[in-house]
Amino acid sequence: MRRRGRVWARGVAAVACCVAVLAGCGGPPVVPDGDAVGPGGRTAPAAPSRAVLSVQPVDGAQDVRPEGAVRVTVAQGRLVSVRLADGKGTEVPGTIAADGGAWVPDGPLPLGTAFTVDSVAEDDQGQRAAQHSAFTTVTPTHTFVAFFTPEDGSTVGVGMPVSLRFSRPITDRAAVEKAVQVTADPPVPVAAHWFDGQRLDFRPQAYWAAGTRVTVALRLKDVQGAPGEYGTQSRELHFTVGRAQVSTVDLDAHTLTVRAGQGGKVVRVLKVSGGSRDHSTYRGVMVVSEKYKVTRMNSQTVGMGDEYDIKDVPHAMRLTASGTFVHGNYWADPGVFGAANTSHGCIGLSDAKGGASKDSPAGWLFEHTLEGDVLEVKASSGDFVPPQNGLNGWNVPWEQWVAGSALGRGATATSSASAAPPSASALP
């Protein structure tokens, strides 16, 4: 390595000499710095530079770590320049120390990439030494990706958060959170909140304004989320907030009131039947996360044994991950809607079998609901929905939400870490 650097140093001097001769045409000869004129007017060869370069990793190294493994130092001299570049010639920025003794890249290097390092230093006599080396960064065998909600290009309701579910547990939450940026147009502050090591949500303090355009920049490629686990994504997602619609459900009055627009004008009041005393419906703010024209609901999937198995539940809209829906109901006595709470935890509306009707209360609500629309459920009794059960982070107060950022003021809030009790998981 040192021998190679000295050879290059002599080459640099030779080139400088040639340049001097050419530049001397028509004028007096120019003597390069560090050279001496010997007997007969001939230039004596420059003395080798005393600067000794050292590059880490060693020339030809494989599987180099992306952080902390690359360093160029010099003894008996100062660094003049360091160029670290990939095979396409793209340079990696770096910084030379104030004393000129060392250089390091400014950030982590891309994974699975071949690099070259070209370093130049000079000693106290101005004689230069150069060194060339090459290495390749590690190609990870373990990677992670983020599954995101909502879908790219979608139009959603005012309550839709940005929710990321990672394929592997994240231990370096700060590094991962820093690699995700959520911006809104018109601008509004957006904060992150970790529910656990695999889920990261973003939302503003209040519901989005209608017409807001949201951009999610995922810059997770080569980010180390846990020891030996690296992200693979680098992309942008976009979604638009549609018209404003927030509905309120009063389980004591057995009504669902649909309000639209900035002023919350009442559009329609629908009669509902909520959860019975033994299977009460969650209270709190809930966001529609999925819509199904017809779906099957089986009590075994939520730990309720063989209580029901309805293969064609119409106009179903999911409110929690544990199984709470607002949906059509054709099998119950029509008299219960607006009068009694009889379900296993879901919010039911009168409907026709098959899910084809757009005129029934459930059909009308289905047609006028976007994923991301909000239902604020009120009742005199019943459990409050855990914020991580579905897209329901609106139930976390703003100060507590901000404290759940790995880059903010504290750790994940205690109240957002409890699991949703299966007994409260609704369905018909």
Kindly report the backbone phi and psi dihedral angles of residue 281, in degrees, each rounded to the nearest multiple of 5, phi listed first: -80, 145
Burial 311-326 (b: 16+ CB within 10 A, else e): eebbbbbbbbbbbbbb
> How far apart are the C-alpha atoms of 337 and 349, rounded to whole Å?
7
Strand duo 284-287 + 374-378: pairing = antiparallel
Cα(127)–Cα(164) distance, rounded to whole angstroms? 55
Q: What is the pLDDT along the chain (428 residues), one digit of tens a residue?
A: 333 333 333 333 333 333 333 333 333 333 344 444 445 555 556 678 999 999 999 999 999 999 999 999 999 999 999 999 998 889 999 999 999 999 999 999 998 899 999 999 999 999 999 999 999 998 888 999 999 999 999 999 999 999 999 999 999 999 999 999 999 999 999 999 999 999 999 999 999 999 999 999 999 999 999 998 999 999 999 999 999 999 999 999 999 999 998 889 999 999 999 999 989 999 999 999 999 999 988 876 666 776 668 889 999 999 999 999 999 999 999 999 999 999 989 999 999 999 889 999 999 999 999 999 999 999 999 999 999 999 999 999 999 999 999 997 533 333 333 333 332 333 33
Q: What is the pLDDT of residue 162?
A: 98
Residue 258 phi, psi dihedral angles, 5° rounding: -95, 125
For residue 376, what pLDDT is reported? 98
Whole-number pLDDT of residue 308: 66
As a whole number of angstroms, the distance between CA 189 and CA 173 comes to: 20
- The reply to whether the predicted model has a pTM over 0.95 is no
At 411, give phi and psi (nearest 5°).
Answer: -90, 175
CATH superfamily of 245-412+419-424: L,D-transpeptidase catalytic domain-like (2.40.440.10)
Catalytic positions, please? 327, 346
Q: How much is the pLDDT for 309? A: 83
Pairing of strands 146-149, 114-122: unpaired
Label the pairing between strands 142-144 and 102-105. Answer: unpaired
Rounded CA gap, 346 and 424, in Å? 10
Domain boundaries, the chain: 2-137, 144-241, 245-412+419-424
pLDDT at 24: 36
Q: Which CATH architecture has domain 144-241?
A: Sandwich (2.60)
3-state SS record for the chain: CHHHHHHHHHHHHHHHHHHHHHHCCCCCCCCCCCCEECHHHCEECCCCCCCEEEEECCCCEEEECCCCCCEEEEECCEEEEEEEEECCCCECCEEECCCCCEEEECCCCCCCCEEEEEEEEECCCCCEEEEEEEEEECCCCEEECEEEECCCCCEECCCCCEEEEECCCCCCHHHHHHCEEEEEECCCCEEEEEEECCEEEEEECCCCCCCCEEEEEEECCCCEEECCEEECCEEEEEEEECCCEEEEEECCCCEEEEEECCCCEEEEEEECECECCCCCCCEEEEECCEEEEEEEEEHHHHCCCCCCEEEEEEEEEECCCCCCEEEEECCCCHHHCCCCCCECCCEEEECCCCCCCCCCHHHHHHHCCCCCCEEEEECCCCCECCCCCCCCHHHCCHHHHHHCCCCCCCCCCHHHCCCCCHHHCCCC
CA-based angle 60:62:64, to the nearest 5? 115
**What's the one-letter identity of residue 369?**
T
**Beta bridge mates, 192:** 202
CB 192 within 8 A of CB 226: no
Residues 6+ apart with CB under 8 A from 20: 29, 30, 31, 32
Class assignment of domain 2-137? mainly beta
Query: The tokens of 68 are what?
Result: 């902390």
d(CA 226, CA 74): 34
Fold match, 2-137 / 144-241? yes
- Which residues does residue 81 pair with via DSSP β-bridges, in sequence order? 120
The pLDDT of residue 25 = 34
